[in-house]
């Protein structure tokens, strides 16, 4: 039996409602025979139970149901009406979007010209593969001698694209540069014109 200081206080409400198991009921009755304080508590609990059972809570009926429906509908109408400021705010947002769009259209740079690989109008382009042990300093000196600039690379197989600074393009001069680069075997493993 669950007791506190020898009193089965937690079981007394269940005893008053007559919902204890037979074993618990026998334990509580044995205690009640000796304890006047717990008997008074059970008597109070039984009187409360009787009063609650006597009182009938009236149903709200049709009038109460209609009043509840009216309150719900009114609540829905209050929340479904948009606030008064939404139209001016929407108009301002549309104006801002239109102004931004106009500015972007006028200030947006035009399309950048695309140059397909192998076609370049600003000078001759060579494809060069350098040896794995060539240093940056060696590559820079070589590029200075031929007046070349790396414009792409290295690619997947180690090929660099190098633009030669010559205007107008002189095919004989390009051939001489290619021949000279092929002789630089300590730095260059492959060279070809695009």
Give the residue-averaged pLDDT of 105-109: 70
Beta bridge mates, 150 = 162
Neighbours of 184 (CB within 10 A): 18
Q: Is residue 133 part of a domain?
A: yes
Note the pLDDT of residue 88.
Answer: 87
pLDDT, position 33: 93
Q: Give per-residue pLDDT as tens, 111-148.
A: 655 555 555 456 788 888 888 888 888 888 888 888 88
Are residues 4 and 72 both part of a single domain? yes
The answer as to whether 95 is a domain residue is no
Which residues span the domain enclosing 129? 125-193
pLDDT value of residue 71 = 79
Question: What is the value of pTM for the model shown?
Answer: 0.38
Model confidence pLDDT, tens digit, residues 71-97: 777 776 666 666 778 788 888 888 888
Q: Report the mean per-residue pLDDT for the chain.
A: 80
Convert 47-85 to b/e letters by CB count within 10 Å (16 or more is b): eeeeeeeeeeeeeeeeeeeeeeeeeeeeeeeeeeeeeee
Does the N-terminal peptide bond of residue 93 adopt cis geometry, omega within 30 degrees of 0? no
Question: Which of 116, 181, 184, 131 minimizes the C-alpha distance to 193?
Answer: 181
Residue 135, domain CATH: 3.30.70
Domain assignment present for residue 3? The answer is: yes
Backbone angles phi, psi at 2, to 5 degrees: -75, 120
Task: Determine, yes or no, domain membership for 106.
Answer: no
The domain total for the chain is 2
Please check whether residue 91 lies inside any domain of the structure. Answer: no
Position 167 in a domain:
yes
How far from 137 is each of 40, 131, 133, 141, CA to CA, in Å?
106, 13, 12, 6
The pLDDT assigned to 173 comes to: 84
Which residue among 30, 56, 83 closes a domain? 83
CA atoms within 13 A on the CB side of 95: 6
Residues of the chain above pLDDT 90, percent: 6
Residue 44's SS3 state is: helix
pLDDT band at 30 (very low <50, low <70, confident <90, very high): very high
Q: Which of 62, 83, 104 is the last residue of a domain?
A: 83
Nearest-5° angle of CA 42, CA 44, CA 49?
A: 95
DSSP string, 138-178: HHHHHHHHHTEEEEE---TTSEEEEEE--SS--HHHHHHHH
| Within a domain: 178 | yes
Sheet holding 148-152, edge to edge: 148-152, 159-164, 125-130, 188-193
């Amino acid at each position: 039996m669950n007791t506190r200081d020898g009193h089965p206080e937690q079981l007394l409400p269940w005893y008053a409602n007559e919902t204890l198991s037979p074993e618990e009921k026998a334990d509580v009755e044995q205690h009640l025979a000796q304890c006047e304080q717990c008997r008074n508590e059970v008597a109070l609990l039984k009187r409360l139970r009787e009063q609650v059972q006597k009182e009938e809570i009236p149903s709200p009926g049709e009038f109460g149901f209609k009043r509840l429906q009216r309150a719900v509908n009114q609540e829905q109408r209050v929340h479904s009406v948009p606030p008064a400021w939404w139209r001016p705010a929407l108009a301002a947002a549309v104006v801002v979007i239109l102004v931004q769009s106009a500015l972007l259209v006028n200030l947006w740079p035009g399309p950048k010209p695309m140059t397909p690989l192998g076609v370049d109008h600003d000078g001759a382009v060579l494809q060069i593969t350098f040896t794995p042990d060539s240093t940056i300093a060696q590559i820079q000196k070589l590029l200075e001698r031929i007046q070349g600039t790396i414009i792409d690379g290295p690619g997947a197989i180690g090929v660099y694209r190098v633009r030669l600074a010559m205007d107008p393009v002189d095919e004989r001069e390009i051939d001489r540069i290619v021949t000279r680069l092929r002789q630089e075997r300590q730095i260059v493993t492959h060279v070809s014109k695009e």
